[in-house]
Structure 1
Amino acid sequence: MKPLGTGDPLRLGPYRLLGVLGEGGMGKVYVGQDAVGTVAAVKVLRPELTDEANLARRFVREAQAAAAVTGKGVARVLGTDTEGGRPWIATEFLAGPTLDEAVEAYGPFDEPAVRALAASLAHTLADIHATGLIHRDLKPPNIVLTSSGPRVIDFGIARPEHGLTLTTTGQVPVTPGYGAPEQVLGHRVAAPADVFSLGAVLVHAASGRRAFDGSHIAALQYKVVHDEPDLTGVPDTLRPLIAPLLAKDPAVRPTPAQIAAAFAPPRGAERAWRRGPVSQAIKERESGVHELTTMLDGGVAPGQVSRRRLLTGLAAGGVVLTAGGGAAAAWWPRSPESPTKKTDLFAFPPAVTTPAAHVLNPDNGDMIVGGSPKELWAVHVLAEDTPAPLPVRDVIVFGARGGGIAAHNVVDGKRRWAARDIKATGRYLSLSDRLIAAVDSKGTLRTFVPSTGERRWTADVQAHQLLAADDEAVYLVTKDHRLRAVGRSDAKIRWTTPPLDTPFRKATPPGVVAPGRLVLGTEDGNVLAVDTATGRHAWDLRGQSDTFVRPACYGGTVYLDGKSMTARRATDGKELWTVRRRALAGALEKKKPPFITFGPVTATADALYATNQGYVDDESSLPNKWKPGDGSEAFQLHGSSNIATPVVPQGNGLWMIEGDPWYTVNVVSAKDGSPVWEYKVGKADRQWLVADGNRVFAMNDDSLYALPVF
């Protein structure tokens, strides 16, 4: 990695730039780090090219394409700006070798590893194609091997499925030897083109050779269109599986789903990159990223850096720096004789990857017993007054029976650590998935590393309950009914409000943070929004509910439940739309409140989910999907839900938990709301659902069940 030059920016959006990873004909790629310690690869279009319409459109298209794909097999987009003077794309920084680097350094993969690679990439292609996109440039340099599996990067020429392959004189629109025949010929391209590329990738992984090779590009492309692939070195058992992917006719190539099924790896093969030399290379690079950002961020004194430089490759997630694809950087270990560095309590611990659970295939009856799923694990040790469980990376945190909080492993439910001095009713928060914030019995704000329970910074702030957190501060209510903001970078109090006015005295967590606003509900149905920078009153809404209001937020819009479901502009509380309670036939005769009330809202980019309850006949709770643009109803979910709990989208389903008299977890299809299955839980007074990493966690009084996702 090179230091920043005189012409390089110091900051792009929220990212402070630390160095230059590499550069190519279109732009540069920097290592960047935001205020909470997240490391990103930030790709920037060259200033002199921003006026080139075609290149600018391609850059914007890349940003849109990469952001559209959210599967675990791609480099996640952290942020973009395609409207400013210097367009940029920030993606997560992937620490691992590219596939071509791994094959060159350690030789071809064995059969189980090839099977695991094929199945994983096939699932990723399915995710990409599900968004209507075609990657169009799948090749070994665009596949990064990480500790969580292979990740596909670089959506620079990805286009919608109906798009034609665009060329200009003298340009080849594909990587020679990996692009499909229809791409080489400039024909209309669809999903099978990526399948062909996958076949060529697997040949390279299995043999260390290219499926098509030639002395020059024209000869190589001729072979792609007219000759059979060279499968020399590919194990005999894999040849009949790979060959169909390389068929000249797109119509006869298998689909990604068929590929994943055909290559189903033996048990444990998906951990191929967690052992052996590839695993060691990944671990070194992960350590290198941490060392690199720590030193460049001033965490290590100059005298502690040895002159000896150990070079390792750091793959920049989601970007290709040169024609070859990979990026190289250097990191410098401290000398053995250096004094031990004191832990920086405010430095973010390294990120821990959330272990993703296996996704159910209902068609195979996978983990289904009598029409219901079998839980992954269950524990029965929750405190009777615990807040909602909180999944954070590889643990789930809850109030523990006997006092304090406990963190249990999301994989098997075993206890990882506990903190007996913490008051669970004071709530706990995730700080950017890197720290857990909680309150002890004395009102001290304390933070913990989620995976280990290691204690970090503390703040004596007379906290009663934690409300919410953003990149800058933790927001809480004090024992004397004041709102207070505590800085995350120094544990100092940023601001404190006077005691809250009577209508807002019962402000209750959780709150939500929208851009520039902290929005809170109260136990008696009022809503208060304050400025996150100063704590000053921004707007309020009174009488929104007869009971507790639980605000939700997406972007700059706040959604409120209660007597109505309403969307409010976060900055000033302006009403955008409202779905009001409706009179119900027969309500007056039965002398019951003639209205439907709304439960907590779950807000996503393209949908809202909320349960509404009618106090007529069976007093049923009816969950629905709503459109965020105008609040119109999309469809009803064919299940029932506890009015006090939110609908949880996860995987291909929408999850709900129902109390008296059925006590079940209900799952319906996210596409049309049709029922999928239900899971019976015991009778309980307190229920909640949370989800993460292909798991849904159902709280049922003192029990916590980890359920698989389909």
Structure 2
Amino acid sequence: MRTLGAGDPLRLGPYRIVGVLGEGGMGKVYLGRDAAGRPAAVKVLLPELAHDRHLVDRFVREAQTARAVTGDGVARVLGAELESGRPWIASEFLAGPTLDDAVQRHGPLDEGLLRETARALAVTLGDIHATGLVHRDLKPSNVVLTSHGPRVIDFGIARPEHGLTLTRTGQIPVTPGYGAPEQVLGRRVGPAADVFSLGAVLVFAASGRPAYTGAEITAILYEVVHGVPDLTLVPPALRYLVEPCFAKDPAARPLPAQIAEAARAPQRGAKLWKSGPYAADIRDREGAARRMTGENPPTVLPGGGAAGTEATAVSGARPSRRRLLLTLAGGGALVAAGAGGAVWWLSDGGAQVLADPFDIPSAATVRPAELSSGTGTPEPLWGPVEGVADAGSPPPLPVRDVVVFAAAGGGIAARRVVDGKERWRAGDVRGDAGYLAIADRLVATADSDGVLRTYVAATGEPRWTADAGVTTLLAADAAHVYVLTSRGELRCVATKDATVRWTRRPPLPLTGGRPAAALGAGVLVVCTSGGDVAAVRTSDGGRAWVRKGQAAGALRPAIDNGTVYLGGHTLAAVGASDGKVRWSMPTMQPIRRGVYGFGPPTVASGVVYALDGDALRSTRTDGEEAGMTTMVAGVTPPWQPPVVQAGSVWVVESRDTGISGWPRGADVSSGQGQTYPLKEGSGRTAAGAANRLFVLNSGALLALRVF
């Protein structure tokens, strides 16, 4: 374990990097810690190799194949980012020596441990082969010893069975002395190749020396193909177990299940790893891991759902970097397995089982609020709760039973929609990056390092992350999240596996201010800070259409039934797929300097609502007027989209008044409008859900009853 140096990352995805565990010709293995304090081994492709398509392909295969194997003899992949400029794979952190390290330190395994090792590794190979994969690189440095038995790591060259071993000119296709003859010869290989490697591993474990030796690598490879293994130091009682593994004909080698049966391991053989010199080494390393993780208890915040539950926060006190490095250095170094290796972690109770970040709980439910009479001043359901929100927060985001906003002091917070009590808070993210709902179950946002982070909406429990270089979140649906990167690119991240689906330069520059976006009908529509509008296909990020000079600033589009509705100098309806104008409506008054004309529209039940100067206009989706024009007091740009809830439509006013609502399509002269007064100041935004109107006003949050 060593400290970070020049060029080492400080963060990879959700992991803060605190040290270097190992390095090889292809990559480095770092120690990382997620937001909950859990350690992980994060393997990174070296920057100078990131442009080598062959090596990147191998790196991608390692993540994909390792995820496919779920037996107890391997450790799980926790996450990966495979399309960034610096691909990485995070794996469970396992404290224990590799087999080669243990044998060099403590000598060959005794007969009982050797039989148990043969049995356990054979069972693990059976699990790997059952998925249709061949490991192809089983060797002592890819076997980690733990108090629960040996674990197989590193799927860097694993491939489907009977696939060719992928090599490049001048490269050796296998680890000399451990790869099967058919691998050395570059022929198609199957599960029997791993059985040959298992025999070589067991010879090393039993004797402390390789089964094949030679003065040069070519000599070792020649012996593998034409010679016989050196079994002179293998105890005679165990030679029957390993010798059949070295048959030149793959069909003549035993099956893993036959090896496991023939090992005749002692009953309760797993207990053998809990005593003796190997066990002491393992305990020292596990103790260091426990001390490291034991200083990070979760913090419980008061909140309570409908049933009085509590939400667990993801943050906790973290040990200093220096103390962490010293802890890892003590009690024996935690092991990074060579050039293609990884580092893994095991808890007292066995392999730590982490929640699947893509296993999202069912959406919470909330009962709609009772409607008001629509007369008099709107009645608050709760609040205002003062000082809880950042004054520059984006509009509140209702997600089933919580409403999310940028919190005062940083991060985002969620409060219950029924009573305004705090449910959870995430302090290590940027509220000004925006936040989005994914399938009404997750909340997506980003941290200061550009990592896309997701949380269970109802509880705040962290879920998957993606190191996507995010500056602004634009839009999301159940399958994808669309973001703007620090390089001014549009990027699409899949929600099922947190991988980047595509990254594209937008048809128009998106720098100079926060853009506004909408998603639907197979396109992502973005309005720039200069008022130009671009649509890209959600399938690949390719240009769909561009409309320049639509507005004087970034106005959020609205999409409904294959049509995009745009505010600005006109209220325009254009085809989502081709951008062709279906109808366009001029403003009631000439557009004065600094006044946008139409504000951002909202579509509900076949009616388009938008501010036109100081008037609220309603238009059917075919372009015909839908009702009388309503005059609104005290509005100045930039305007918020009207909020439609139940039978009312609401407008955030800019000056002395507050937020006002009218029955849909009614005229203010009817006397049916009502207004809730707001404090003067910035940060007036609103959103609605479940017959509730949520309003942010200069750092305060409240919920109003609607009609």
Q: Structure 2 length normalisation: TM-score?
A: 0.48
Larger Cα-atom Rg:
2
Higher relative contact order, structure no. (Cα contacts within 8 Å, ≥ 6 residues apart): 2
